[in-house]
């Protein structure tokens, strides 16, 4: 029986193994040269390191200046924002004016006709506890004389025939009641006296009673502005010519 010879091996071909790393190092192209390659369709150039400026530390003074500029700009920005907010608040206040009521604000005390009726029913005096003020009639014949003496803020009320006097005595702050017999205000603490419209008549007080502006709204409501105290008229003021209409309610020499 014939024995077949083993198949002959194919002739050796060129090796497919890459060359050792040592063979690459002798043929590398330096990347520091101006080499152009393609990356996603864009040309990328590697610059020569000789063209790059050497690094140097930043100037501390320049950094300080930049920091100051930043702080200054931030301060100006905050101030601008604050002014803008204030302006917006003022605009809102213009659209919706202050409607504060109660003492320290604008206090409505009733319709004009009702207020006058109440004054006359009360013997010439009407006290508003909310306004802490006395409302009395101001003679229309004395309005011209009042315009020469009183603050213009009081004139709308005087023109309407009314005046509002603060309850406190300008001497030491006692609450001053009315006296029905004399038709004056008479302070029981130290004997100061005032006419029905609050003008000084006697005692240690330095002036007449202080006042609040009073006005009549278009709907006929009497409103007292207790947030605006008007200093009373000086001693010697007598626009109405009113003298005591009866005996005093306090003893002479009260102190």
Position 144 in a domain: yes
pTM higher than the cut 0.85: no
Do both 81 and 147 map to the same domain? no
The total domain count for the chain is: 2
Tens-digit pLDDT profile for the chain (255 aa)?
455 555 555 555 555 555 554 444 444 545 444 444 445 555 555 555 555 566 666 665 555 556 667 677 777 677 777 676 666 555 545 454 444 568 889 999 999 999 999 999 999 999 999 999 999 999 999 999 999 999 999 999 999 999 999 999 999 999 999 999 999 999 999 999 999 999 999 999 999 999 999 999 999 999 999 999 999 999 999 999 999 999 999 976 554
Q: Is residue 18 part of a domain?
A: no
Q: Are residues 212 and 124 both part of a single domain?
A: yes
Q: Hey, what are 76's tokens?
A: 């100006």
- Same-domain status, 92 and 149: no
| Same-domain pairing of 89 and 156 | no
Model confidence pLDDT, tens digit, residues 55-84: 666 665 555 556 667 677 777 677 777 676
Q: What residues make up the domain containing 77? A: 62-97
- The pLDDT, as a whole number, for residue 219 is 94
Indicate the Cα dihedral angle 185, 188, 190, 192, nearest 10°: 10
Same domain, 167 and 118: yes
Q: Residue 121's domain is classified under what CATH number?
A: 2.102.10.10
**Is residue 250 situated within a structural domain?**
no
């Amino acid at each position: 029986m014939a024995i077949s010879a083993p198949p002959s091996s194919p002739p050796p071909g060129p090796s497919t193994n890459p060359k050792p790393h040592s063979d690459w190092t002798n043929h590398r192209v330096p990347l520091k040269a101006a080499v152009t390659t393609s990356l996603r369709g864009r040309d990328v150039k590697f610059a020569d390191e000789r063209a790059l400026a050497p690094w140097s530390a930043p100037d501390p003074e320049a950094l300080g200046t930049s920091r100051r500029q930043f702080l200054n700009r931030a301060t100006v920005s905050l101030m601008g924002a604050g002014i803008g907010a204030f302006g917006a608040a003022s605009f809102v206040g213009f659209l919706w004016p202050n409607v504060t009521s109660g003492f320290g604000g604008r206090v409505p005390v009733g319709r004009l006709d009702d207020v006058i009726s109440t004054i006359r029913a009360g013997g010439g005096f009407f006290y508003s506890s909310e306004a802490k003020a006395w409302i009395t009639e101001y003679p229309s014949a004395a309005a011209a004389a009042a315009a020469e003496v009183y603050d213009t803020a009081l004139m709308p009320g005087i023109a309407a025939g009314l005046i509002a006097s603060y309850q406190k005595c300008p001497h030491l702050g006692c609450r001053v009641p009315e006296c029905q017999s004399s038709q004056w205000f008479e302070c029981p603490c130290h004997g100061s006296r005032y006419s029905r419209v609050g003008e000084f008549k006697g005692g240690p007080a330095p002036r007449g009673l202080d006042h609040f502006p009073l006005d009549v709204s278009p709907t006929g409501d009497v409103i007292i502005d207790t947030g605006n105290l008007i200093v009373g008229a000086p001693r010697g003021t007598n626009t109405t010519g009113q003298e005591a209409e009866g005996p005093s309610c306090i003893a002479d020499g009260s102190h």
